[in-house]
Structures are given as structure tokens and as C-alpha cells.
Structure 1
Amino acid sequence: MSETGERFNVADIFGEDVFSDKVMQQRLPKSVYRELHKTIEEGKDLDIHVADAIAGAMKQWAIEKGATHFTHWFQPLTGVTAEKHDSFITAPRPDGTVLMEFSGKELIKGEPDASSFPSGGLRATFEARGYTAWDPTSPAFVRNDAAGPILCIPTAFCSYTGEALDFKTPLLRSMDAINAQSLRLLRLFGNNKSKKVTPSVGPEQEYFLVDEDAFKQRKDLVYTGRTLFGAMPPKGQELDDHYFGTLRQRVAAFMRDVNKELWKLGVPAKTQHNEVAPAQHELAVIYENASLAVDNNHIVMQTLKRIAAKHHMRCLLHEKPFAGVNGSGKHNNWSLMTDDGINLLDPGKTPHQNVQFLLVLACILKAVDEHADLLRESAADTGNDQRLGANEAPPAIISVFLGDQLQDVVSQLVKTGNATSSLKGGKLQTGVSTLPDFTKDATDRNRTSPFAFTGNKFEFRMLGSRDSVAAPNIVLDTIVAEAFSDACDVLEQAEDFDVAVHDLIKQYLNDHQRIIFNGNGYSDEWVAEAERRGLPNLRSMVDSIPALESEKSVSMFEKFKVFTKPELASRVEIKYETYAKNTHIEAATMIDMASKSIIPAVIRWNRSLADTVIALTQAGADASVEKELLAESTGLLAETKAGLQKLIQITEEAEKKPEGRERAVFYHYDVTPVMAELRAPVDKLEMIVDKDMWPMPSYGDLMFSGT
């Protein structure tokens, strides 16, 4: 039961804090409502008088919900959302009262200071002007928190000279690109009814919950979001008993309150469960158009953190908060939907006969193969460097899992040029007389694949848990738009369409079958096999960043007007800077913890041991065990001090490197190994030193206590 203990009906509260299409129909004049939909559906400019009418209705609706302020809610290149609150109050009247106003101009455009947001050189520090522009495809909402009800208006964010300084702007551009090219493809197959094709996205969000008091005692969690020191507890995830296990009551209460808040904001939270690692959980939502899905995933992350605090817990969204147990990812389920309900990724009951689907599939394989490096880069961050490739997450190698059914169809097409059959699912026989036999899917799932076909969508499983899902969807939309465009360029000139499409499908499948892998992506054998196939293995963020500014990437993004070359260059600069700064903060945190907490604690422990040795020896008792412990901890303390000094020196050296790629590469290849060297003796000391003397909560305290 929630904190207040009240009962509620989901249907009654769902979307109650959203300025939804239903609300707009009720509150807007019919002519205004029609003009707004022309803007949403056709990209038509919004007349200022129409905007004024929408703003007035939106303001009144928000005030009725208790809102006193509004904000343009946007996604700068920091990776988190940003907002500046303005009240509805205008200048006071002579009689001492005030007007509450909100104009169409204020709705459509805001002007935050752009100088302090990352721009990667697109803007000079002294050039402060930036603009937020209302995105009418994502509805406004009222968020309730400690500041009170706030009207949040989803917006794009660009510079004074028009460059995108956010994730939303290129996402909307990429959606335009995939829409245009998908319609070209559909027209070739005689579909003249569908008017729009939209990427549909359903993110799955993994996270950890830890006790708030324990969290506050860990400087590494406070400053970096992950533990930089820590020995494994006696029990981890070995028994697999946490996965899908019964929810602890404290967590169940938290999840109930999260769901209620999300449903009120129109976020279709669907699935919740315990994940593999202790204290790890997952929340998944129902599919929505990509722009709304990105906005809603940010709402999910904010809500998880806010509600956790109410329950005296902290939500950890770092990709690898604990070494030795599973980290957290975010699975991006992606498909293409027409406005009249057609899923372009639905193979139907007989995929081998579904020519349109086979062309779409072949184009996606082509896109992923040709831009595997770019897709890998879209999921790159400092936290994912600790996660990808472990036995919990996809490897850093991009491959595509198709499953038995589609793999069989592809093999037929490649070998003979024709596919004459599709594998069926058959019956699942349990062998228990009281349980009914039922039809099973024609294909099993593969959790080790980074890009897996799962029935009528592709699941990109490489994303980090705290990242915006915008970046991978921008890449997916654009690379598939390019593949569709290439195919349409050929087929639109064909004299015999049926022959041409057959030949093109076979060509694409044959040329790009190296990207298909249905086996164990965690195995060492796959790493060797991928190298033989010529697939890129970009193990770290700094290794993957150059894909953004490669000639083929720049050419593609510019062709479809998703990014300009300067916008790409700015993102490259920001990513190198972010990697270096994040790693510097982690190194500085380790230095602080080792210097001020860990070494002093071990010295106190050694002094206590030494006093015990002296007392036992003077009493004529055997002190051999105490002497051994003292020798061991003294030796490890010396290793810790040496590792600390080495980390101090290497970090100072790193900060002298030129900013950009050189500094980031130095941090990755030179500083992070020294961080691991310092951690090793400290984690051993944690297993020796008296727990009451150890200066921070252990992994066991964090993962098993209080949640």
C-alpha cells in the first residue's frame, strides 16, 4: 500500500496531470484544436493567435491543478533534463492585485541562458542566448514535487544561430527522415493509405535501491553514483533467488507510489520485478512514439529518484554501482508503426512470403552492419565501460539475433535465392497431465545479443541505465532511413519491381549476413569469430567516439538533415570532455576516501593489533595469529599508500594533457588501471579490519539491509 494508504483506480487517475488530446478537445475551440493537429501531423507553422488560445487554456487548466509556475522542460547535452521556472504573475495592478497570464509567445518560445550548457564549441562562453521551442508532439504536464505543482512544457533547445544543443531536436529530425523514407518504401508496395510512419519505442529501465543512511556514508556513491571500493559479501547473486522473487514490502510500497505518480503523468508503466542482482529492479513501459518515449523515460528516472527519497532510500541509475554483480542497462525496444496501425516489423505467420517485411529486415541488417560502430557509440558512456562485455550485458561487439525462424528464411534466400517455408512454433509439451500443452513461439530469445529480433520489434540491449534513449533512437532512425533510401533509389527505377525487389533482398542478405549471430555473445569464441568476420570491437567509450565524425557518418547525417558537421564535432568534443571529467571525479574521490578514511582506519586497526600482540607476549600467551594479521594488514597498507601516491601523480599528469581526445584517452588507458591497482589492496583490507573500524558500509550493508 502507498505511504498514504489510499486506494485508487488506475483508469480514474491515468493521465489526470497531462494536458492530453482529450483535455485539449474539451478546452480548445474546434478550429484551434484542428490547427494544432495540422501542426503535429503536417509540420505546419502554428499561428500566434492559435498559440495564444492554447496557452490560455493550458494556463487555466494548470492553475486549476494548483500550478503557480511553468517551465520549458528540455534535454541539453548534459544527458539529464533542465528547467527554469517562471510564475504566471505579471506586473502588479495599481490596486495591489496581480494578473495571471501565459501567452502564446511564452508557450512557443523560451530564452534560457545557453552559455553554461555544453556546446562543444558551437557557442562561445560569452554568447548566452539560447531558445527553447515547444514540441507539440509531446503533451505538457503538471509535475507535483516539493516545489508544488509545476506546468512542464516539453521543448527543443537550440542556439541563437540555430544549432541543436539538445537531444530532442535531432531526434525529431531523425523521425522526419525515417517517416519520409518509410513512406517511399510503402508506396512501392502499393500502400497509398498510410500517411505517416513513426518509430515506436518501449524502454525497460533497470535500477538499484539502497538505504539512504548507508548511501550517505559512502562518498563514492554520493560523488560518482558507484562504489569505487568494496569487497564482495558472502552472498551475491549466485543462487539467482532475487530474480523475479517476491518483492520486499519496503520496495513494494515504493513501486506502488512510483506507478501512481507515473500513471497520473500518463506514463504507461506496465511491468515491475526484481532483477538478477540483490537490490536491483526493473520497470518497463508500453510502447509509444519515440519522442514521447524519450520524454517519458526521463520522467521515469526522475520519479524513481524522487519517490525513493520519500521512502528513505536512494535510487542508483549508474550502470555498474557494484563490482562483481550485475550492472544496470536499459533495453530499447524499437519498431516502425504507420498511422493506420501497420507494424513494418511484423513478419506475419509466413515470413518467407512477406516480401515487404523481408525487404525491411534486409535493410535493417544492412544499416546495422554498415553503421555498427555508430550504433555502439550511441550506447557509450563511462559507466557502460564497466558493464559491457561482462556476463550480464551484451558484448561491445554489435551483432543481430534473428532466431531460428528468420535465420532459416535468410539461409534459404542466400543459398537458393528463394524461401519456400517458415519454421513453425509447434507444441510445448510439459509432460504434466494437469497442465495443457500450448503453442510455443517459433524462436527462442537470446539475452546475450545486443540487437535482437523479438517477434515484431528489435531490442537494442546495450544502453546504459542512466542514459537518455534519444541517442540510440536518433542513430537507429537515421541508419534505417538511409538503408530504405538506398533500396528505394534502386527499386523506383526498376522495370520489373517483383524481380528487382527479390534480387535486392538476396543481395542485402548475402552482403550483410556477417552481422547475424544467434549464438552465445558472452563467449570468448564469439570475440574471435567476430574478429574473423571483420566486425568492430569497440571496448570503451573513447574507442567508439570517433565513429561520430567519420566521413560516412557525417555524410549520412547531413544528407538526412539530422546533424550538421559542426553539430557532430561539438558532440565529439563534449563526449571526450565528459569522459575525462567523470574519470577525474572518480579518481579524486578514491584519493579522498583513501587519504581521509581508509588509511587512517587501517592505522587504527594496526595499532590495536600491535597493542594486542604486546599484551599477549608480555602475558606469555601465543600471539602468532595476531602477528600474522598485523603483518598482512601492514603489507596491504603499504600497497594502499603506494597505490594512492601513484594515483595522485598520474591524475596530476592527466590534468596537464590537452583537453579533448588526448586527455580522455590518457584517463582511460593510464589512469583507470591505476585506480584498479589502488582498489585491490583496499578490498582485501576490508576483509581483515574489524567491521566496527571500517569507515563505510559494506556491499552487504548496501544490498541486503533495509530494502
Structure 2
Amino acid sequence: MSERTDYTETSVQSIYGSNCFSDSVMRERLPKNIYKEIQAVKAGEKELSLEVAEVVAAAMRDWAIEKGATHYTHWFHPLTGLTAEKHDSFISPTNDGKVLMEFSGKELIKGEPDASSFPSGGLRATFEARGYTAWDVTSPAFLKQDPTGTTLCIPTAFFSYTGHALDKKVPLLRSMDALSKQAIRVLRALGNTNSKRVVTTVGPEQEYFLVDKEYYDQRPDLMLTGRTVFGSMPAKGQEMEDHYFGAIKERVAEFMRELNTELWKVGVSAKTQHNEVAPNQFEIAPIFTTTNVAVDNNQVVMETIKKVARRHGMEALLHEKPFAGVNGSGKHNNWSIATDDGINLLDPGENPESNARFLLFAAAVIEAVDRYALLLRTSAASSGNDHRLGANEAPPAIISIFLGGPLTEIFDSIAEGKAAGKNTNLGKIKLGVTSLPSLPKDLSDRNRTSPFAFTGNKFEFRMLGSSQSIAPPNTYLNTAVAQVLAEFADKLEKASDKNAAIEAIVKESYAKHKRIVFNGNGYSEEWVKEAEKRGLPNVRATVDALPVLIDKETISLFESHNVFSKEELESRYHIYLERYSKQINIEAGVMVSMSRRSILPAVSSYVGSLARDTAALEAIGADNSAQKKQAKAIASLLKEAYEETEKLETVLAKAQNVEDVFKQAKTYQEEVVSQMNALREKIDNLEKLVDKKAWPFPGYEELLFKL
């Protein structure tokens, strides 16, 4: 366990960003003209030249070496959902047998990992290995330190020799450009001539579980799948509601202290931490930052959580549902839109002009979420999230928007041309910049059952799974909003009366798409029925969600904004289906192995011992009815468990032999998952009857309550 760090204001300031090649470090180490060039490149005003890159590379190398770095890596986000890195040393041999520490601008700008070794969904053949990584200038480089040494990590994008995106960063950056382009068009039409660029910002809240490593190491399911495929609930779960925001245990507090230190060093602004609802479940949240940086930061957060947990004798579980019967883990994607000169376009503001702008951009988001609801649902689709969505702990698989009473009333009044009610204290609402009074700052409460909720000056997309990259959801959301803003801009640019045009746009848009707005309890069965009446899709399973990626409308959307090509979308459709099948295949295989090799033999042995005890009692004339009853119940369940295990083996073999990628995933979803649930029911019931000492694996009591 690491030594305790006692923080003071001075120590935090000295720690924060110490391992990050941040803007302040560049300002200090780069010549003024080079620093200005880099800022212009970041703002999209210039292209990066090799001459500028050479100067930056030299400064970055010197800084990293001073910090103890010996290697550098182009750090990127392949379609595995994880991050990847290939380490190269700074050393360059000289003729006299010595070495120089070198790092060129060319090496900074571009790397070349093996593209054929990462999933490409058919974009790359096995023999076509060439792929490139390109420096993402807008995301700061950082140092990764571990017992093996210190490595300079340079955030990059990953693409193929043919120019196809092989990662999650390239489409995200494209979508940010698309949204910026269309939002600027709208702002220009509204008379804004100062803002040059619009960015989306994100603050992702990360949930996770911690378990003692001693128990983790005894659970093959946790090690191989990230979740418990078997496990019965202990006498106490989360029903006492005593964990949420509760006092943090000393061991966990020490872990959190070191986690903060590690994140602060690399410039990740971890700010909020607390106990979550389930036992041994926790949350950490950073401060908002630009979306592509937030994506990088969230990957660092997940990796660091796992790394630091191991130092404290624990394992971190990022799976969406590691334990059946208690809350799973999500990731709340707090998303907003802002200009480069500091205007939050989703902030109601304090004057009529900003109110009108706010309502226009809010209407664009509402329309985008309704029109592209299936796409947003797909962005949160995974085998792990299938266990969590709609389980009275997370939003349902139905996309809806929570606006809150006052804001909904305002939009309703605009759409219907009526006066606002008592909640808003507004007269008849018009969107002329001088006729709309200022709106209250907090226009809504918070609704934790809503998958997409307005929370003051941002929207909170709550459907994301805890283990996933936040890049795809933000890529899809950015592009959807860009499309609606483009249509708004077309109308505004043609209008002679801008105020009348704004009012007409908001009125028409909201009237058509208000069906997506729901302010009630998303957990209720009544909402499921109401959503069906409204025509809102309810796609419960990943396999059923993924085909939207290759719909004509989806392809047209992404191609029109240069975010994805048809080939890139088809590749992701293939990869995500294949990933689903592989994950379920592993989980089913682990179930069969645990059942056949450990649980069934252990239970058989226990039944044998019960039989011997029963015979011994009978031999001395003692009452053995209780033992007989227990042995009979266990033996009956044991037989059923054997049978269900055999059935799982059969359907698993069937699924493995299906060649079509969609049909295979569908077989895993409909037949294998169903049989896994049937086997689990038998095994979990056996766990409740068998002596704890005879059960071969640590149970939920140890995993959830011992830290």
C-alpha cells in the first residue's frame, strides 16, 4: 500500500498538472512565436507545419526526460474499446557506441502501429498492416508512471493507409467540427460576429465497484468477464439505503486519495467522489472540459482506477452489472455547447437576447434526440448494459428528454401560441429578442430516471455504460445536433425578419418533436405503455439496436457531415456485433467451466457427506428427517443443474457454428443468454442450500461487504 499523502493548498498546486504537457508548460518552454502557432493550430486556423512540430517535439522531449521518461508512445483509442500504446525509446545510437536522446517533429506528428492487429470490420485485410497515428494537438500529452518506468503518452488519432478511421477519436473530432460549423452559421444569422468556433464540452461521471483482490482472484468469472455469472444475494443487500453518500471506509479513502493524486498529476480535474447506492460501489466525477479531451481523460480515469486499486489490494470492476440483484454502474455524460469566447449556448442567460438563443439551441437538441433516438440508444448498447437498462436503477431503453415543468411549459406555450402559466410568470411568449423576459436560472429539478435530462445549462445523457468509451455517444450526439442546426441555419439565413424566423423555427420544431419530452418516472410500467402510444422506440437488446448503424438515413447523416463513410459505419456494425457474440461466448464458457469443474463436483461431494451423516444418524436411531429433506432438495437441484449445464453446452456449440455475424449475435442473445439465465437460477439456488464451507467460490457477502 502506498504512503499517505497529506494535502495542503501548496502541495495540490504543485501536484496538479506536474505530469501533463499542458498549455502553461508549453507557454513556458516554447518560443512565443511557436506557442502562438500551436494555439492557432488548436483553434483550427492553421495546419501544423513540420518546422513548428520540430520545436515542440524538442521541448516535449526535454520536459519528459527531465521527469524520468525513457520512452514515448502514440496513445490511441482503437475499436477494442480500450486504449493502445506502442513504446519507442528516445535513444538513438551514435558511431562511437553511445546514444543520443532524440525525438523529432516527424515522430511527434505521426506513428505507424500494425493496423491489421486491431479490429477493423473488414476495412483492413489480415495482410494489410499499414496504419497511422496522428497527433491530436488539442489534447495534451502526459506522462504515465509505473514500476517499469516513465513513458511520454501523446494522444493521437488512428487511421488506415486508405484514410479510414480505425478508432473512436477520428469520428469524434470530425463530429466536433461538424457541430461547430453549423452552430457558427446559426450564430452568424443571429448577429454574432465575434465567436469563431463552437465546442462541445463534457463532464463524465464514472461509477465503479471495488472488491478485495483475495476474493477476486478466486472468482474465474470476475477475472475473465468482469462480472459474476453466478452468485446469490446475501441476507443484506442495498435495501437499507445506508451506503449512498455514506462515510467512506478508511481503506477506500486511502485508495481515493492516491487516485486523486495520480489523476491530478496528469491534469485530470477529478473533483467529486462518493459512495454510490450499492455496497462497495463508488463514483468519481471530473470538471467539464472539451469533448475530445474529456474522452481521453475518461480513459485515463478508468485505467488509473484499476491500477491504483491493485496497489491497495483491491480490484476495480467497471462492468455495468457485476452483481445480480444490486445496482449496476453507469456513466453520466454531461454535455453542453459553448463558443470559443465563453458563451454557453445552453445557458438561459440573464437577458432576452440570450433567452431566445437558448431556446433555439435547446429546440435543436430536442429535435435531434427525437429524430435520432435509435442512434443514441445504439451508442449505449453493450452486452453489459443490457443487464442494467430498465432495471429500476438506470433509465429504460426508451430515449426521452426531461425538461422540467417550467421549461416544458415555456416550450408548450411557444408551440401553441398561448400565454405561459403561473410557474413562469411570463406573458404571451414570443421570441423577439426584446419581447421575451429573462428566464430563471434553474429551469428544472433533476430526474434520475430520465436517459436525457436538462440540468440547468447542460444535458445529462444517463444511459451510458460504465465500461464504455464516451466517444461514440458524443460523436452521434454532436452529428445529430449538427444536422438540425444546419436546417435551422438554412431557414435563418433566408429570413428577412430574424425574430419572426426564430419564433417560427422553435414553434414548428417543438410541436413536431415534443413527444420525446417526459418529466415523470421513467422506471414505471405506465411510462413504457405511454412511450409506445407516442411511437417512441423501446429497443431492449444490443443486437436489436445495432442495425440502425447501416440504415440509409444513418449513412446519409454521417456522410453529409463527413463524420463516417458508409464503409466505416459498416465496419463498426460488424465489429460491435462480433464483440457482443465474443463476450457472451466467453461468459457462457466460464459458466460451463465453473459449473462442471468446481460447483457440481463440490455439491456432489457435499450431498455425499450429507448422505453419510444421514446414515450415521439412522444407525444410532437418531432423527435424520431434516438431513434427508435437505439432501433430497439439493440432489434434485443438482440433477437439474447438470441438465441445464448440458443444455448450455449444446446451444453454445450451435451459436459458435453460425457464420452470419448478425444471425450469430441473435442466436447468442435469444438462445445462449436465455439458457445462461436458466443455469444461473439452479446454481444460485444451490448456493443457498449448500454449506458455505463447501461452496468453491467466495460469495456476494465477501465481495460486497469486505473491504
TM over 0.5: same fold?
yes
1:3 correspondence with 2:3: yes
Aligned pairs for 1:468-487 within 5 A: 468-487=469-488
Q: Give the residue type in structure 2 aligned to 1:51.
A: A
- Counterpart in the other structure of 1:376: 377
Aligned pairs for 1:132-147 within 5 A: 132-147=133-148
Any idea what SS the aligned residue of 2:501 has?
A: helix
Question: TM-score, normalised on structure 2?
Answer: 0.96
- Counterpart in the other structure of 1:239: 240
Per-residue deviation, 1:442: 4.8
Which digits, 9 at most, give the CA deviation of each residue in 1:43-66, with x for residues without a partner?
522111111111111001000000
In structure 1, what is the Cα distance between the partners aligned to 2:181 and 2:419?
Answer: 30
Say whether the 8 Å CA contact 2:71–2:88 is kept in structure 1. yes
Say whether the 8 Å CA contact 1:405–1:424 is kept in structure 2. no
Say whether the 8 Å CA contact 1:329–1:462 is kept in structure 2. yes
Say whether the 8 Å CA contact 1:134–1:154 is kept in structure 2. yes
Aligned pairs for 1:305-454 within 5 A: 305-349=306-350, 354-416=355-417, 423=424, 441-454=442-455
Per-residue deviation, 1:424: 7.5
Any idea what SS the aligned residue of 2:55 has?
A: helix
Per-residue deviation, 1:443: 2.5
- Counterpart in the other structure of 1:610: 611
Any idea what SS the aligned residue of 2:99 has?
A: coil
> Paired residue for 1:81, among 64, 80, 83?
83
Show structure 1 runs of 5+ residues with no match: 426-438
Q: Give the residue type in structure 2 aligned to 1:32.
A: I
In structure 1, what is the Cα distance between the partners aligned to 2:705 and 2:184?
Answer: 52
Say whether the 8 Å CA contact 1:120–1:570 is kept in structure 2. yes
Say whether the 8 Å CA contact 1:352–1:358 is kept in structure 2. no
Say whether the 8 Å CA contact 1:424–1:442 is kept in structure 2. no
Say whether the 8 Å CA contact 1:351–1:406 is kept in structure 2. no
- Counterpart in the other structure of 1:280: 281
Aligned pairs for 1:610-689 within 5 A: 610-689=611-690
Say whether the 8 Å CA contact 1:2–1:256 is kept in structure 2. no
In structure 1, what is the Cα distance between the partners aligned to 2:353 and 2:514?
Answer: 17
Per-residue deviation, 1:351: 7.8
Q: Give the residue type in structure 1 aligned to 2:392.
A: N
Which digits, 9 at most, give the CA deviation of each residue in 1:411-440, with x for residues without a partner?
211222565886379xxxxxxxxxxxxx99
In structure 1, what is the Cα distance between the partners aligned to 2:629 and 2:676?
Answer: 27
Per-residue deviation, 1:34: 1.6
Say whether the 8 Å CA contact 2:392–2:523 is kept in structure 1. yes
- Counterpart in the other structure of 1:554: 555
Per-residue deviation, 1:702: 0.3
Show structure 2 runs of 5+ residues with no match: 427-439
Identity fraction in percent: 56
Per-residue deviation, 1:7: 4.2
Q: Give the residue type in structure 2 aligned to 1:193.
A: N
In structure 2, what is the Cα distance between the partners aligned to 1:657 and 1:260?
Answer: 49
- Counterpart in the other structure of 2:433: none
Per-residue deviation, 1:491: 1.6
Say whether the 8 Å CA contact 2:232–2:700 is kept in structure 1. yes
Per-residue deviation, 1:2: 6.0
Any idea what SS the aligned residue of 2:195 has?
A: coil
Which digits, 9 at most, give the CA deviation of each residue in 1:109-166, with x for residues without a partner?
0000111100000010110110000001001111111221110000000001000000
CA shift in 2, pair 1:279/1:388, >3 Å? same
Q: C-alpha root-mean-square deviation of aligned residues, in Å?
A: 1.6
Which digits, 9 at most, give the CA deviation of each residue in 1:589-632, with x for residues without a partner?
00000000000000110000000110001110111000000000
- Counterpart in the other structure of 1:174: 175
Any idea what SS the aligned residue of 1:596 has?
A: helix
- Counterpart in the other structure of 2:430: none
1:262 correspondence with 2:263: yes
Say whether the 8 Å CA contact 1:205–1:283 is kept in structure 2. yes
Which digits, 9 at most, give the CA deviation of each residue in 1:546-581, with x for residues without a partner?
111111111010000000000000000001100000
Per-residue deviation, 1:402: 0.0
In structure 2, what is the Cα distance between the partners aligned to 1:365 and 1:499?
Answer: 20
CA shift in 2, pair 1:628/1:350, >3 Å? farther
Any idea what SS the aligned residue of 2:85 has?
A: coil
Any idea what SS the aligned residue of 1:90 has?
A: strand
Say whether the 8 Å CA contact 2:306–2:315 is kept in structure 1. yes
Per-residue deviation, 1:659: 3.8
Any idea what SS the aligned residue of 2:675 has?
A: helix
In structure 2, what is the Cα distance between the partners aligned to 1:353 and 1:163?
Answer: 40
Question: TM-score, normalised on structure 1?
Answer: 0.96
In structure 2, what is the Cα distance between the partners aligned to 1:607 and 1:170?
Answer: 60
In structure 2, what is the Cα distance between the partners aligned to 1:642 and 1:464?
Answer: 34
1:12 correspondence with 2:14: yes
- Counterpart in the other structure of 1:56: 58
- Counterpart in the other structure of 2:542: 541
Say whether the 8 Å CA contact 1:205–1:330 is kept in structure 2. yes
Any idea what SS the aligned residue of 1:198 has?
A: strand
- Counterpart in the other structure of 1:65: 67
Aligned pairs for 1:199-210 within 5 A: 199-210=200-211
Which digits, 9 at most, give the CA deviation of each residue in 1:90-118, with x for residues without a partner?
12431x21111000010000000111100
Instruction: Count how many residue pairs are aligned between Structure 1 and Structure 2.
Output: 692
In structure 2, what is the Cα distance between the partners aligned to 1:414 and 1:675?
Answer: 49
In structure 2, what is the Cα distance between the partners aligned to 1:5 and 1:37?
Answer: 35
Say whether the 8 Å CA contact 2:4–2:254 is kept in structure 1. no
Per-residue deviation, 1:461: 0.1
CA shift in 2, pair 1:672/1:351, >3 Å? farther
- Counterpart in the other structure of 1:434: none
In structure 2, what is the Cα distance between the partners aligned to 1:441 and 1:359?
Answer: 18
Per-residue deviation, 1:19: 0.7
In structure 1, what is the Cα distance between the partners aligned to 2:443 and 2:90?
Answer: 57
In structure 2, what is the Cα distance between the partners aligned to 1:144 and 1:527?
Answer: 49
In structure 2, what is the Cα distance between the partners aligned to 1:505 and 1:103?
Answer: 52
Which digits, 9 at most, give the CA deviation of each residue in 1:328-383, with x for residues without a partner?
00000000011111000001357898211111111111100000000000011110
1:36 correspondence with 2:46: no
Any idea what SS the aligned residue of 2:448 has?
A: coil
Say whether the 8 Å CA contact 1:320–1:387 is kept in structure 2. yes
Say whether the 8 Å CA contact 1:318–1:383 is kept in structure 2. yes
445-454 or 359-368, larger mean C-alpha shift: 359-368
Per-residue deviation, 1:208: 0.1
Q: Give the residue type in structure 1 aligned to 2:594.
A: M
Q: Give the residue type in structure 2 aligned to 1:229.
A: F
Say whether the 8 Å CA contact 2:614–2:627 is kept in structure 1. yes
In structure 2, what is the Cα distance between the partners aligned to 1:167 and 1:351?
Answer: 39
- Counterpart in the other structure of 1:46: 48
Say whether the 8 Å CA contact 1:158–1:164 is kept in structure 2. yes
- Counterpart in the other structure of 1:112: 113
CA shift in 2, pair 1:14/1:424, >3 Å? farther
In structure 2, what is the Cα distance between the partners aligned to 1:352 and 1:402?
Answer: 21
Q: Give the residue type in structure 2 aligned to 1:552.
A: E
Which digits, 9 at most, give the CA deviation of each residue in 1:442-463, with x for residues without a partner?
5321100000000000000000
In structure 2, what is the Cα distance between the partners aligned to 1:350 and 1:56?
Answer: 49
CA shift in 2, pair 1:656/1:406, >3 Å? same
- Counterpart in the other structure of 2:568: 567
